[in-house]
């Protein structure tokens, strides 16, 4: 009895499998790609670059206002190296306990048409009191 070769079926299945894996990898990378910038770099960037970005800097001493009706805070983010370069941040969500003026923070979100940065996440750098000290054993 003659056997029928199934090579075209296997090739089609392999093509579909590789195409599906390729699409999953591409969509995962595309969805999670976020620019990580300091304030100076963000101010120099094109506005379309900041539609989805992660910024880091220091919370300015002035302009810090906690929301009264909902959880969140509005503040000015300063460049860590050049305090004259700032960007306005609006964050709606639970504010970390360590958040205060002078704290180093990372915000993730995007630039709005009004020119402020709407943050979806707000993370503070751990204060130095939590860092390991040089101890004698």
Q: For the segment 95-114, what is each residue's pLDDT rounded down to a tens digit?
A: 998 899 999 999 999 888 88
Whether the pLDDT of residue 54 is over 70: the answer is yes
CATH of the domain at 39: 2.40.50.140
Return phi, psi of residue 104, to 5°: -85, 130
Mean pLDDT, residues 4-16: 84
Q: Which residue has the higher pLDDT, 64 or 31?
A: 64
Residue 78 in any domain: the answer is yes
Res 7: pLDDT:
85
Please give the mean pLDDT across all residues of the chain: 83
Based on the domain organization, do 72 and 19 belong to the same domain? no
Give the total number of structural domains in the chain: 2
Which domain covers residue 21, as residue numbers?
A: 1-33
40: confidence class by pLDDT, cuts 50, 70, 90: confident
C-alpha closest to that of 91 among 115, 114, 65: 65
Mean pLDDT of 21-27: 80
Q: How far is CA 16 from the centre of its chain?
A: 34
Q: Are 101 and 59 in contact (CB under 8 A)?
A: yes
Give domain status of residue 135, yes or no.
no
Region 30-45 average pLDDT: 76
Same-domain pairing of 63 and 6: no
Which residue is listed with tokens 């609006």? 90
**Predicted local confidence at residue 106, as pLDDT:** 92
For tokens 């048409």, the residue is 113
DSSP lists the bridge partners of residue 54 as 36, 108
Asked whether residue 135 carries a pLDDT value surpassing 60, the answer given is no
**What is the model's pLDDT at position 31?**
56
Least Cα distance to 106 among 41, 61, 39, 44 occurs for: 39
Higher pLDDT, 71 or 1: 71
């Amino acid at each position: 009895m003659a056997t029928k070769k199934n090579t075209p079926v296997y090739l089609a299945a392999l093509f579909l499998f590789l195409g599906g894996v390729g699409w999953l990898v591409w969509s995962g990378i595309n969805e999670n790609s976020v620019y990580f910038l300091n304030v100076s770099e963000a101010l120099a960037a094109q506005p379309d670059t900041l539609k989805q970005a992660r910024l880091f800097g220091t919370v300015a001493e002035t302009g810090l206002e906690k929301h009264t009706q909902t959880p969140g805070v509005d503040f000015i983010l300063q460049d860590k190296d050049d305090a004259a370069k700032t960007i306005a941040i609006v964050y709606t969500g639970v504010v970390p306990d360590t958040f205060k003026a002078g704290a180093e923070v990372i915000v993730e979100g995007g630039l709005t048409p009004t020119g402020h940065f709407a943050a979806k996440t707000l993370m503070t750098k751990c204060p130095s009191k939590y860092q390991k000290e040089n101890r004698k054993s």
